[in-house]
């Protein structure tokens, strides 16, 4: 049996951010990753607002050195109308986002966690959750018992711990199916910037990567895409019980929106950092457990609801609006 302060399930952006922030607070952390190394994937579009978070996690310089493609905004196409939406600018010039290759991004975050003495255990999955008097006290992995004050679900949409605890997900959109990939050519006509083109049945996204590659994502309303290459269910949902006695849900395990929000990685990092801040207050300042649980639940709901309302209006003003509304009772 092993005992630590924090168990983190999942080594993506949310899990790494939580691990790094907790180690910065002096807490002991073990992080489990189901994969032997980060998986190959087309990439992540990072909004410029991610920069302060990357600096707080101590990885901003590594991100710059990775040579990710930068972009200053997004082309938005609705029917025959195209409009470029810049992120903004200040006295230093335009604000720039990153089109990050996902495997490289995850490697940078994981290495930062390991450098802070997070124990990263790869190629393993939890087998069972440990409960004592209705409190999560750890997990069983490969027949071994790991106990912790807090167990964190950062397993993404699979939401392993949430499913083990049978925490209900509240559905907030019609079924949304997403397929994605990349091709060895660069899109023309958009000045090297990403583009989001709405259709009557969803939208198509294209983003240039380094090395003359283009990442693409297709979302279709009413088509879950399961069984198709790269097909995943990205129907909007959130879990009101995203924290409780001994556990927290982070990133997509707590709440999921489709990629057009462009906030996926940013929200994952924010949830991990905020969790670390709350548990530091619990361990170092004696803040009551019930208080940090309630604060996190309210924070997650407000973040999700703000993006949900914005995205719903985004769909309503597009060629996909009628289909989205007709198939939605939310």
pTM for the model: 0.93
- Structure confidence at residue 256 (pLDDT): 92
Domains present along the chain, CATH in parentheses: 2-326 (3.50.50.60)
- Structure confidence at residue 275 (pLDDT): 98
- Structure confidence at residue 44 (pLDDT): 79
| Rounded Cα distance, 137 and 246, in Å | 6
| Rounded Cα distance, 125 and 141, in Å | 6
- Structure confidence at residue 135 (pLDDT): 97
- Structure confidence at residue 38 (pLDDT): 62
- Structure confidence at residue 100 (pLDDT): 87
Mean pLDDT by 10 residues, the chain (330 residues): 94 97 98 78 80 96 93 89 90 90 92 98 94 96 95 95 97 90 76 89 87 85 58 89 98 90 85 98 96 98 92 88 74
3-state secondary structure of 289: helix
- Inter-residue contact 156 to 10 (CB < 8 Å): yes
- Structure confidence at residue 214 (pLDDT): 86
Q: How far is CA 144 from the centre of its chain?
A: 29
β-partners of residue 69 are: 99
- Structure confidence at residue 291 (pLDDT): 98
- Structure confidence at residue 136 (pLDDT): 98
Residue 286: left if φ>0, alpha if ψ -120 to 50, beta else—which one?
Answer: left
């Amino acid at each position: 049996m092993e005992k630590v302060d924090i168990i983190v399930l999942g080594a993506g952006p949310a899990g790494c951010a939580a691990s790094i922030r907790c180690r910065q607070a002096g807490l002991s952390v073990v992080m489990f990753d189901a994969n032997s190394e980060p998986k190959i994937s087309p990439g992540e579009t990072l909004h410029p607002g991610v920069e302060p978070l990357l600096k707080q996690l101590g990885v901003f310089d590594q991100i710059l050195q990775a040579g990710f493609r930068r972009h200053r905004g997004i082309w938005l196409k609705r029917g025959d109308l195209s409009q470029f939406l810049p992120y903004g600018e200040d006295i230093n010039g335009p604000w720039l986002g990153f089109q990050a290759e996902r495997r490289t991004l995850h490697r940078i975050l994981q290495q930062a966690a390991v450098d802070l003495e997070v124990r990263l255990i790869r190629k393993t999955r939890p087998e069972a959750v440990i409960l004592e008097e209705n409190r999560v006290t750890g997990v069983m992995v490969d027949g071994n018992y790991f106990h912790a004050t807090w167990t964190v679900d950062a397993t993404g949409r699979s939401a392993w711990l949430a499913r083990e605890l049978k925490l209900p997900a509240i559905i907030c959109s019609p079924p949304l199916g997403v397929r994605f990939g990349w091709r060895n050519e660069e899109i023309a006509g958009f000045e090297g910037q990403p583009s989001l083109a709405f259709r009557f049945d969803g939208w198509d996204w294209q983003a240039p990567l380094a090395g003359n590659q283009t990442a693409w994502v297709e979302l279709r309303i009413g088509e879950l895409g399961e069984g198709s290459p790269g097909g995943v269910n990205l129907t909007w949902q959130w879990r009101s019980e995203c924290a409780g006695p001994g556990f927290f849900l982070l990133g997509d395990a707590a709440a999921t929106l489709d990629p057009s929000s462009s906030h996926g990685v940013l929200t994952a990092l924010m949830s991990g950092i905020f969790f670390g801040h709350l548990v530091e207050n619990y361990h170092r300042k004696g803040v009551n457990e019930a208080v940090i649980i309630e604060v996190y639940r309210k924070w997650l709901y407000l973040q999700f609801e703000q993006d949900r309302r914005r995205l719903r209006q985004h769909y309503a003003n597009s060629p996909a609006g009628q289909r989205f509304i007709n198939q939605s009772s939310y």
